Chains A and B, each alone.
Chain A
Amino acid sequence: MQKVVKQRMMALNGDEAVAWAVKQSNVDVVSAYPITPQTLIVERISEFVHNGEVDMEFIKVESEHSALSACVGAAAAGARAFTATAANGLQLMFEILYITASLRLPVVMVVVNRAPSGPINIHCDHNDTMGARDSGWIQIYTEDAQEAYDSTIQAFKISENPEVLLPTMVTLDGFFISHTLQNVSLLPDEVVHEFLGVRKVPKIKVPEIHGDKEVPLMLNPRYPLTFGPLDLFDYYFEHKRQQIEAMMRAYKVIEEVHREYAEISGRSYGDGFIEPYRIDDADVVVVGLGSTMGTTKTIVDELREEGKKVGSIRVRVFRPFPRERLKKVLCNFDAVGVLDRGISFGHYGQLYTDLCATLYGVKDAPAMIDFVYGLGGRDMPPKLLKKIFEEVLEARVKGPEPVFRIKGVR
């Protein structure tokens, strides 16, 4: 076991923490376009580049569509590529999200969660990244600036693993995290360099073109490859199956990278996928994503003081969805409240539907209630969270109906 390294503490907000992670991660190409509340990321990286503190190409593109397109080009050329965006920017990238994943390029993107327009809004909800959950990207939702820093570094290692080769999206809550100052422990540069190395390009066999030779999977005149050919009903499906399988292999890699990182940094987030809090003897739990789950812990403590057996579980990795872990743990409770900072109009919140699918047909599945909250950055005050816990406790006797409850709305 490796020794935890000595680290430097800096007062940073979430965006700055991400910029520092990018600075230390041997990123070759950054291609990004500003959008609130992500702007500080591109501003800080610009400062690093303009002050010669880091050697990377920063393409200041004219749109997010081009931001991700240029990352695709750079990654196909063999470079480590990074971008960052939010809401409308992510939506402008939509077409290229799917293509990045299907080209199996290990691009890393940080999304600072912001409510999608319209009406136009700049504050946090999760509907932007939830809209991208089916695009083939790994998704990690972080709780605070420290975790955003740690997860950004981890993301490169996960994505570039030859067993995975999928892009990763790390998210942090707009303003709540992106603009809130926090003490963040930064690993020494050389430790991050050693952890990640420079981008390595996997080798593959393409017998039809290059015979037995294992050739680098990149745009390379020595061994030319064709990326992104037309692909119709005779092979497309097999390629999708490969993507499905790569996502399944990602479980193990995410866990390993999280563990390896924990050994160096001394920081871990549950098992890397879910972070349970005081659940051991709990009767009911609340499950959710992102920064709200920090407040939730405080409420759990308060309710425990009052003798109520409650706990919380934060889902950190949303894709691939930690369904086996959740299945196992959630059956221990009588009732589960799901916090959704997003909504699929005409249905429930996205986390709730995924949890229902996970628990369908499972013996001893808990009663589940969906609490949709916080759209457009609406605050989730401790009082409201407490109320939610109380409703979940009540569901033990009264049952979960109505299962769909909107909270904090007039």
Chain B
Amino acid sequence: MAKEFVPNIRQLPKFMKEDPGILPGHRACAGCGCAIILRQLMMARRKPLVIANATGCMEVVTTIFPYTAWKTPWIHVAFENAAAVAAGIDAGRNKLQRSGRFSDDPDVSVDYDVVALAGDGGTYDIGLQALSGALERWHNFLYILYDNEAYMNTGIQRSGGTPFGAWTTTTPVGSKIKGKPLTKKPIVDIVVAHRIPYAATVSPAYWVDALKKFRKGLETEGPAFIHAFGVCPRGWRTDTKDTIKLSRLAVETCFFPLYEVVNSEWYLTGPSLTIAKNPERKKPVEEYLKLQGRFRHMLLPENKWMLEKFQELVDENWEIILKRAKNV
């Protein structure tokens, strides 16, 4: 791996101005955390990217013919196949590179990093098979899951990434069943079980940590996976100004711990490492939940058990990660 990349706050604005990768003017909602993830990915580039984007919010808000927000070669094919499309791009690039196909064409470059970009629906659920296949085949690409915890593009339906208790339009708060009765699939565990060289979690609130991880993912030889925390004010019923605050609280409450898994070895990073060393800094999850309309019912006295269960689930998950982490 190359020398560790440290984002340079002085050079970044210039870099992003000259070569933004993605332009403003797209139609993401105000306060969309997922759009911030895309910008941060662009800030971490070592060379141009080619992006295969699954159907979902990021695909829809960045394009509508004849407009595009992408100043990066970009392709959208379908919902469940971002990893397979990326695999094809990887294979095509390999063959073109080794045969020197376009070496004397000044209009073409085949030197780029391949990125697959998909939401939680396109990853935990309908895209899991294509993802697993691409990881097993060891394609050289970075898969980015932007997790807004529901099918937002189709109007806030639950996914395998929707957390316990959350309201969505298919897990309504009814008189009998309140929100999602099940929990979030441990997607990073599933991915890491493929023994890929690099996996990590990022939250846009911790942008230096995020940029470093994006860069590592891009530099990885073979498959890499990043699980990015993507606040969705529209679907979570949150205030647009709270996006970064929520991105921080998710980490501070250990609902979304930050870590990386390098060759199957787990390392906590940034604030999560600090909390591991100073457990008193771990905030109660209620602080995170109470800002979100989708969890409002869980704060009512009669649903106290839900809040308690949510906290238990967070604690359990955090314990598991603490046990795995090599650096605590």
Contact = CB atoms under 8 A, between A and B. Distances in A.
Contact of A198 (B80, B101, B107): B101
A218 B52 CA distance: 13
Interface stretch (B90-98, B213-221, B234-242, B288-296): B90-98
Contacts of A215: 107
Interface in B67-118: 67-68, 70-78, 80-81, 83-96, 98-99, 101-102, 105-112
A209 B132 CA distance: 36
Interface stretch (B31-39, B56-64, B186-194, B266-274): B56-64
Contacts of B96: 28, 77-79
B129 interface: yes
A220 interface: yes
A59 B77 contact: no
B72 A221 contact: yes
17 contacts: A28-B95, A60-B137, A63-B129, A66-B81, A66-B133, A66-B134, A71-B88, A73-B86, A73-B88, A73-B90, A76-B85, A103-B77, A198-B99, A216-B105, A218-B108, A221-B111, A229-B64
A61 B133 contact: yes
A222 B76 contact: no
Interface stretch (A165-173, A230-238, A280-288): A230-238
B130 interface: yes
A95 B92 contact: no
Nearest to B136: A62
A223 B80 CA distance: 27
Contacts of A118: none
Nearest to A100: B77
A76 B52 CA distance: 11
Interface in B17-74: 47-50, 52, 59-60, 63-68, 70-74
Interface of A: 28-29, 31, 55-57, 59-63, 65-67, 69-79, 81, 95-96, 99, 103, 198, 201, 208-209, 215-216, 218-232, 234-235, 239
Contacts, number: 187
B91 A59 contact: yes
B91 A222 contact: no
Contact of A70 (B48, B49, B84): B84
A177 B110 CA distance: 40
Contacts of B63: 226, 229-230
Contacts of B90: 73
A68 B243 CA distance: 38
A67 B91 CA distance: 12
Contacts of B68: 209, 226, 229
Q: Which of B98, B106, B108 has the most CB of A within 10 A?
A: B108
Given A221-B50, A222-B108, A230-B63, A76 B78 contact: no
Contacts of A29: 88, 91-92, 95
B88 A31 contact: yes
Contacts of A226: 63, 68, 70, 74-75
A363 B222 CA distance: 65
A227 B76 contact: yes
B82 to A, nearest CB: 9
Given A59-B91, A66-B83, A73-B92, 13 more contacts: A28-B95, A66-B84, A73-B90, A78-B92, A78-B96, A78-B108, A81-B88, A198-B101, A208-B66, A219-B75, A227-B74, A229-B63, A231-B64
Contacts of B132: 62
B22 to A, nearest CB: 11
A85 to B, nearest CB: 14
Contacts of A103: 77
B185 to A, nearest CB: 19
A224 B81 contact: no
Contact of B102 (A61, A78, A230): A78
Contact of A224 (B59, B73, B88): B73
A222 B107 contact: yes
Contact of B87 (A59, A95, A234, A235): A59
Contacts of B106: 222
B133 to A, nearest CB: 3
Contact of B70 (A67, A72, A224): A224
Nearest to B70: A226
A222 B110 CA distance: 9
B130 A216 contact: no
B91 A74 contact: yes
A230 B60 contact: yes
A93 B302 CA distance: 49
A312 B85 CA distance: 44
B118 to A, nearest CB: 13
A216 B95 contact: no
A216 B92 contact: no
A79 to B, nearest CB: 3
Contacts of B71: 224
A223 B72 CA distance: 8
